[in-house]
Chain A
């Protein structure tokens, strides 16, 4: 693994590779930026002196609307912001939070950096893998509901172990609490 990645010897910055679950790749692209999303983008554009600066916010809108950022969406964004699709892809791949492939309905991120690691984060990961039925990190469960990944420090180290389920932040998660947390999801 070391030295094998173009972006960085240890993987650098990139979204987790979830490519085995890319089933939507060939559907025709329906534009994201119409109606409310379009006016949201216009408001964003007014906040910056360049169009390019609205790129990260625009990608967030895409991910909120579609659950992930497809190549077609990147092309759409690149046109709106006067960028090239390749440029947009270069930016998307730098950041860990943009999904380049569809993920489970509940995307679960668990912090395993040292401070949480010392407080039992590894046990929490094991419990999540077991109870979601994913079994393995980065893999979506057969029912399409869950994907679990390990992430670096979530900035809540005093509340080990913090996890994120989609946009929700949950603190002090222990293996015992996992079944109850998952049961609370629709």
Chain B
């Protein structure tokens, strides 16, 4: 649902059904809403059976990359005699994204159930939910729910009385966007600086504590119980575009839009209807100018591109961007693109873990040059420098934070070059922009 708005008739609330319903947080009332039935069923199946159901459902990772979840789980070699781990990525720090927060605040037991099923399916006894340090309220509700689940025997040495050990622990981060990158998260959980690791080895071979590990986003794991309850075919049937994008997806909407908030739609939903109908369109007297549809790391779309996009993994690529985390940042005609892109670059520069030269220096210089252009001190040559910096920052580093910084810059210069040029040549694009630039 469009929390904090009521459910829109064109939404399909599966994960968000109980957002805003404080009662759903408690174990007993959660059970009344069908909670923990899927876990009970799962513990009676073989891990491989569960993996196959998830594979068949078509569920793909909701953390950014869209990797097929069932396939990821199948990389875990069962019976290799090693402890396995499940990490739930609740670091949610991608600008524009605030959906995992609502899942944890309103339906903590849905996530615990998803973690327990996921852990069992990959042969793990322990799942850690790594939550960003600033999320004090989600941490509080998750910890309460974990306590309740232990007290009720749902978690622990003999989970649900089925003879399996399943532990779920909440682990608090301490402020660092980079800890959302999967191997940085593992380092951080181990008590280290959150530097991403060089891959390979991949987590399924050597992850947390050097053991086989699977890492999934909050929304991915929270979707699992309902897939078991209603079946893979049901989930697969939730698709408005193509069979590679199935299920519902939470989109967080922010920026210059009438009704910011979270909306849950079936993948393949028309983006134009989403923006104007569900989200209420632009603020009075203003016009949409651009959208960053998948969190700050994906290419900027012009409105022409956005309005022709179908909201799924393939659709956003066809529309010149990516689905990413589903954090939709809407930018209107009162904003200077240069100013916003410069601020995003500053974000990445601040969050670079500084291991790789291209990233450490590249994000810093990109920011410096963009701020110079923003302040009217840029030259045409700066645009070429930015493009060549971006090229050096892409595909050359340990993780993709470096690429993520280059992305809005390259797409911004390509699609809104006139705004950069007019700041350089001293010609304002229009009066509203001059006032805010």
| C-alpha gap A157/B340 in the complex (Å) | 15
Contact residue among A49, A94, A117 (Cβ-Cβ distance under 8 Å from B340): A117
Q: How far is the CB of B297 from chain A (nearest CB, A)?
A: 12
Cβ of B174 and Cβ of A96 under 8 Å apart?
yes
Whole-angstrom CA separation of A156 from B331 in the bound complex: 17
Is the CB–CB distance between A50 and B260 below 8 Å? no
Bound form: Cα–Cα A127–B280 in Å: 29
What residues make up the interface of A, taking CB atoms closer than 8 Å to B?
2-3, 7-13, 47, 49-50, 52-57, 59-60, 81, 83, 90-91, 94-98, 109, 112-115, 117-119, 151-160, 164, 167-169
1/0 contact trace for B114-133 toward A, CB 8 Å? 00000000000000000011
A2 to B176, CA, bound (A): 20
Whole-angstrom CA separation of A166 from B89 in the bound complex: 24
Size class of B's contact patch?
Answer: 35 or more
Shortest beta-carbon distance from A76 to chain B in Å: 15
- Decide if the interface of chain A is mainly helix, strand, loop or mixed: loop
Query: Would A157 and B93 count as touching, CB distance under 8 A?
Result: no
- Interface flag for B202 (CB, 8 Å): no
Q: Within the assembled complex, what's the spacing in Å between the Cα atoms of A12 and B319?
A: 33
| Pair B343/A113 contact, Cβ less than 8 Å | yes
Contacts of A2 in B (CB 8 A): 364-365, 368
Q: Does A114 lie within 8 Å of B174, measured CB to CB?
A: no
Q: How far is the CB of A63 from chain B (nearest CB, A)?
A: 9
B260 and A10 contacting across the interface, CB-CB below 8 Å: no
With A and B bound together, what is the CA distance between A177 and B352 in angstroms? 34
Out of B171, B193, B254, B255, which one reaches A57, CB within 8 Å? B171
Given A12-B353, A47-B169, are A97 and B255 also a contact pair (CB < 8 Å)?
no
Once the chains are docked, how many angstroms separate the CA of A81 from the CA of B367?
39
Residues of B contacting A50 with CB < 8 Å? 190-191, 209
- Known interface pairs A11-B350, A13-B176, A115-B255. Does A164 touch B98 (Cβ–Cβ under 8 Å)? no
Given contacts A13-B194, A56-B172, 18 further A-B contacts (CB under 8 A): A9-B360, A9-B364, A10-B352, A11-B350, A12-B353, A83-B191, A95-B194, A109-B134, A113-B95, A113-B344, A113-B347, A114-B95, A114-B296, A151-B175, A153-B95, A153-B96, A158-B260, A158-B262
B228 in contact (CB, < 8 A): no
A61 CB, nearest partner CB in chain B, Å: 11
- Known A-B contacts A13-B351, A53-B189, A114-B329; A155 and B343 likewise in contact (beta carbons under 8 Å): no
Give Cα A94 to B30, complex, Å. Answer: 39
A2 to chain B, nearest CB (A): 5
Contact B177 A153, beta carbon cutoff 8 Å: yes
Q: Is B173 positioned at the interface, with any CB of A under 8 Å from its CB?
A: yes
CA of A92 to CA of B166, assembled, Å: 31
Residue pair B176, A95 in contact (C-beta under 8 Å): yes
Contact A152 B329 (CB under 8 A): no
B361 in the interface (beta carbon within 8 A) = yes
A59 neighbours in B (Cβ, 8 Å):
174
Interface pair B174/A60, CB less than 8 Å apart: yes
Task: From known contacts A115-B96, A155-B97, infer whether A55 and B296 are also in contact, taking CB-CB under 8 Å.
Answer: no
By beta carbon, the residue of chain A nearest B367 is A10
B96 to chain A, nearest CB (A): 5
- Which of chain A's residues have a CB closer than 8 A to the CB of B134? 97, 109, 151, 154-155, 164, 169
Could you list 17 examples of A-B contacts with CB < 8 Å? Answer: A3-B364, A8-B360, A12-B352, A13-B353, A50-B191, A52-B190, A57-B171, A60-B133, A95-B175, A97-B134, A98-B174, A114-B343, A118-B256, A152-B347, A154-B134, A157-B96, A160-B260
Contact between B364 and A157, CB atoms less than 8 A apart? no
Chain A residue numbers with a CB within 8 Å of B96 are 115, 153, 157
The digit string for B71-89, where 1 denotes a CB below 8 A from any CB of A, is 0000000000001000000
Near A by CB (< 8 A), chain B positions 140-160 give: none
Q: Are B347 and A52 in contact (CB under 8 A)?
A: no
Please tell me which one of the listed residues A54, A98, A164 contacts residue B191 in the complex, with CB atoms under 8 A apart: A54
Cα–Cα distance between A7 and B353 once the two chains are bound (Å): 8
Residue of B174, B262, B335 ringed by the most chain A CB atoms within 10 A = B174
Complex contacts, B167 vs chain A, CB 8 Å:
47
Contacts A7-B354, A9-B364; A117 near B343 (Cβ below 8 A): yes
Contact flags (1/0) for B344-359 with A, using CB distance below 8 Å? Answer: 1011011111100000
Knowing A10-B350, A60-B174 touch, does A157 contact B169 (C-beta < 8 A)?
no
Enumerate chain B residues within 8 angstroms of A10, measured Cβ to Cβ: 346, 349-350, 352, 363-364, 367
Q: Is the CB of A9 within 8 A of B354?
A: yes
> By the criterion CB–CB under 8 Å, are B254 and A158 in contact?
yes
B194, A94: Cβ atoms closer than 8 Å: yes
